[in-house]
Structure 1
Amino acid sequence: MKYIFDENFSHRLAQGLNLIEQGNLKSKVQAEITHVKFLDLEGKTDEKIIEIAGKNNGIIITMDKDFRHMKHYFALYKMHKTGVVIFRSSKGKLSYWDIVKSFINKWEDLKESIVCESTPFAFQINTKGIQRLTF
């Protein structure tokens, strides 16, 4: 499964998680992690990112509120057979390290939650945990 971090995240976070994941050989669920920068999608529309994620059997990871609130995105997720993970701060603005720790602490649980899902789907992750969202 491929996870695609959008522009709201540092490409270094995606690279770092991918390096950690490569060493995670005992995990039940293997993942490839990338960033829109490495797919030449920086500055592209959300619609284009959804399309490319679908073509790559990818899941979008974002902090962008539009990905949840724009109803037409559900049709795009369905058409392109992809899902989205929305990162939310549960306590206002988070530091870079708060975000890193949240992903590290919840990564295996997130992968295991997603692997059982049919597309389209949406999950929210924050410092408190993971939640399945409805459209």
Structure 2
Amino acid sequence: MSGYRNQFVRVEVESARFEEGQLLVTGRGMAGERFEDRPWYEPHGFASHPQGGAVGTMLAPGGRRDQSFVMTAYDPGIRPEIEPGDTAIYGHGNLMRLHKDGAIFDFGSRTAVLTSGGWTINGDVTINGNVQLNGNMIATGSIVDGDGNNGA
């Protein structure tokens, strides 16, 4: 079992770069141990790119540093505070948070672009701001404006 010593190491990411379909991470581990261009692993269908200062885990199968890879990094300086059971996706000041009462999508003053073949929204919609429509509007019910003249 001695080959499994130090299989997991806490690391700090210094940089990451994308090359030939693989994200490669450089940084340092415990007691200043350096590593360069270690593969970044994450679940299928999910992509992230840790920035300098992120803290993560390096795994060395069988204790072999030459076969190590880095995963599960996060930056404690930008991680949002969430409640137990919540889930969040965040980065660059953007936040998508799922919580027990619903969901919050907070993009600050930045623009969110959603492209789709069509949308169906089941429920009431409130828009706080102006609406620009570049196309036709079709209503199967009444259209009522704020002054009560039914849109006239």
Q: TM-score, with normalisation over the residues of structure 2? A: 0.21
Report which structure shows greater RCO (CA 8 Å, sep ≥6).
1
Computing the radius of gyration over CA atoms, which structure comes out larger, 1 or 2? 2
Query: Which one has a larger percent strand, Structure 1 or Structure 2?
Result: 2
Query: Which one has a larger percent helix, Structure 1 or Structure 2?
Result: 1
